[in-house]
A and B are shown apart, each in its own frame.
Chain A
Amino acid sequence: MHRALRTLAAIAVFCSLIAVGGSALAANVVNIKVVHDGQPVNAVQVEILSAAGSTQHVTNDLGLVNASTEGSYIRVKLDGVMVEGVFLAGQDLITIEKN
């Protein structure tokens, strides 16, 4: 009896994993705009720190960085300096003021 119940439980877990597996792998798109006094800042080194590690990028002429990251939240470093606070990775555009 126990063996049968364990088998059923294992099947339930397996089915659950299949059910959620598809959505679990989606990476979050990160759009960051770096500005100073409202103007885009070019060629800023942007480090995106997430629960799954960090990635580095450089802003373009519009002060923009487009990247993807696993995890729902990120921290950001601009030219090696940590920006205070945390950001929701999936939101449309994160605007960060560079001092």
Chain B
Amino acid sequence: MKKILALLGALAIAGILAGPAAAQTDVLFYSGHSGYADTHTQFGAIMNGLGANFVTDSSPTLPADLSPYQLILISVPGWSDPNDYFGAGEVAQLNAFLADDAHRVVLIGEWDGFYGQGQQVLEQLAADLGGVLSFSPGVYDNGCYAYQCAATNTSDPLVDGLSGLCKAATSVWDLGTPVSYPVENTILPFVVSNGTDVPCIVGIGDSNVLSDPCNHLADPNTLEFARRLYLVTCSGEPTATENTTWGAVKANFR
């Protein structure tokens, strides 16, 4: 009996020392590899409101441990240094992360004049992550206040029922499933996705869609799009993000 109690005690201590298991529900906004990150207070608040822990990171390399994350956004890599490519180890990390269909990576681009030569870093990364999306040079930016979409692919769960997503649009994506086109360019979409297939990747053409300066997240459609980046996974099931209490559980089953 004493041995059993000692064993249980040891297990309890080990559990305390180990801390809580990684939730795999957090959101990483990564702007390392010389990426560009404006302020993302609104997007962070939205993610936190969904129960995620929103983490920003501009370290030179990806965090060694991606296990806490469900959603990783990679923002305009190579922007200030066009030679700052992701290493083979980091690519392997991301591909391992994407092997789980509940995980998503969002690649964020910018228009040519602002991105410059560094866009080749994003092009290479997209190719390294299965090549299901292809980043193409975007020749213009229609600014903060263009609000029209030429088309929205309503069969994609990311945008089903939404409209008016083409804000601050740079149409710079090719391949993948077109999700939304700006009126200025009905050939190259500004948001693409790989649908619900693995790897679960989305490409966004312009950082202002999710950043603070243009305030697009105040728009209900864009807000819902941001929420779905997190909530609608490629495993097809909404992510359970709500926390509950024992009291609530008891109340529910009385």
- Residues of chain A touching chain B, judged by Cβ–Cβ distance below 8 Å, are 1-2, 5-6, 9-10, 12-13, 16-17, 19-21, 23-25, 27, 49-54, 70-73, 75, 82, 86
Contact = CB atoms under 8 A, between A and B. Distances in A.
Given A51-B114, A75-B116, A1 B39 contact: no
Contacts of A72: 38-39, 213
A86 B248 CA distance: 53
A21 B39 CA distance: 12
Contact of A1 (B111, B213, B214, B252): B252
Contacts of B248: 1
B42 A73 contact: no
B50 interface: yes
A35 to B, nearest CB: 24
B113 to A, nearest CB: 4
Nearest to A14: B49
Contacts, number: 99
Contacts of A50: 114
B39 A24 contact: yes
A24 B213 contact: yes
A19 B207 CA distance: 22
B217 to A, nearest CB: 7
Nearest to B45: A16
Nearest to B217: A17
Nearest to A72: B38
Interface string B213-251: 111011000010000000000000000011010001001
B144 interface: yes
B83 interface: no
A51 B36 contact: yes
B140 to A, nearest CB: 8
Given A1-B252, A51-B208, A53-B144, 17 more contacts: A9-B51, A13-B223, A17-B46, A17-B217, A20-B212, A21-B215, A24-B212, A25-B213, A25-B215, A51-B213, A52-B208, A53-B141, A54-B141, A70-B214, A71-B208, A71-B213, A75-B116
27 contacts: A1-B251, A2-B242, A6-B242, A9-B50, A9-B51, A12-B49, A13-B46, A16-B42, A17-B46, A17-B223, A19-B45, A20-B45, A21-B218, A23-B212, A24-B212, A49-B113, A50-B114, A51-B207, A52-B213, A53-B111, A53-B141, A53-B144, A54-B114, A54-B141, A70-B144, A70-B214, A71-B208
Task: Determine which residue in A16, A21, A51, A82 has the highest number of CB atoms from chain B within 10 A of its CB, and name it.
Answer: A51
Given A2-B242, A20-B41, A86-B80, A53 B143 contact: yes
Given A6-B242, A13-B49, A51-B110, A23 B41 contact: yes
B43 to A, nearest CB: 10
Interface in B110-124: 110-111, 113-114, 116
